[in-house]
Structure 1
Amino acid sequence: MPHPARSLLVPLLSSLLAAWPACAATAPAPAVTDATVQEPLTEAWGIVTSQMVTVAGHEFANHFIAEWRDKPGGERYTLALRERPSARWGSLVWIEFGQQRVLQLQLPPARAGLKTLAESAAESAYQTILDIERQRRLVSDADLAADEF
């Protein structure tokens, strides 16, 4: 005795298969021209994440990100801003690129100089990342992955 679901499925599939060539014949194939063929995106778009805890840390991150956006090609790199607050020593802030810590600094207790500190930190981190990228292009070692230089 045939299964009840099979007896319903077979006519449905046969009607779909019969209609499929007719549908395919009515839809014209798009013409492929040089204008429609596009190169795949080769650039990876980076982001800047912020794991700041204190008000000073958030302010520093806002100024840093604003300055980072003005760097040529800065949108290609993914950065992580991290903060470790301390009641005794102030906040320790570091910036990571890949698996490397490219910059580490101590936030001052007064928030007055955070903008200039963030601007100089963005410039310093940018130059360090460019140096890392130059080093990756110059050194090729089969035993190391791209992020292990």
Structure 2
Amino acid sequence: MIRIARHLACLLAACAIAGQASGRDPDPDGWGIVTSQPITVAGHEFCRSFITAWLDKPGSDRYTIAIRERPSARWGTLVWVEYGPRRVLQVQLPPTRTALRALGENAAESAYQAVLDIERQRTLILDADLAPDEF
């Protein structure tokens, strides 16, 4: 339990430092966190370029997303981005590392647009039978 609390404190401190380093004040209404679990070198490089491009998007600091990776010797490395209970993006990483930077930047744009679409749907659909995360 103490390890989890320390890890969460480190994540929050890193978010605050990242917001100060980018010259933007974090949004007081929402604190978005980007978590990643890269396993391979390609996954680390993809996550690095994705997160850099994600933080450059306006308002991206309001959304909490998770980047997951599943390496496979047979099928290659699969990376996906989750926003809440939804998988908003899924990418198969190429075997060469030369295209990973551009792929990460393009993936960040696609994931950002998908998150914005989900948020637009939440504001438009009002149903008493559905919880906010069930849209």
If the length of structure 2 is used for normalisation, what is the TM-score? 0.79
User: In structure 2, how many angstroms separate the alpha carbons of the residues matched to 1:57 and 1:68?
Assistant: 16
Matches within 5 A, 1:29-40: none
Q: Give the corresponding residue for 2:52.
A: 66
Show structure 1 runs of 5+ residues with no match. Answer: 1-40
Give the share of equivalent positions with the same residue, in percent. Answer: 68
Matches within 5 A, 1:1-149: 43-149=29-135
Question: Matched residue pairs, number?
Answer: 109
How far does residue 42 in structure 1 lie from its aligned partner after superposition? 5.6
Larger radius of gyration: 1
What per-residue deviation string (whole Å, max 9, x for no partner) do you get for residues 58-101 of structure 1?
Answer: 11000000000100000000000000000112100000000000
User: In structure 2, how many angstroms separate the alpha carbons of the residues matched to 1:52 and 1:118?
Assistant: 13
If the length of structure 1 is used for normalisation, what is the TM-score? 0.71
Show structure 2 runs of 5+ residues with no match. Answer: 1-26
Q: Quick one: which amino acid aligns to residue 109 of structure 2?
A: E
How far does residue 130 in structure 1 lie from its aligned partner after superposition? 0.4
Moved over 4 A (4+): none
RMSD between aligned alpha carbons? 1.0
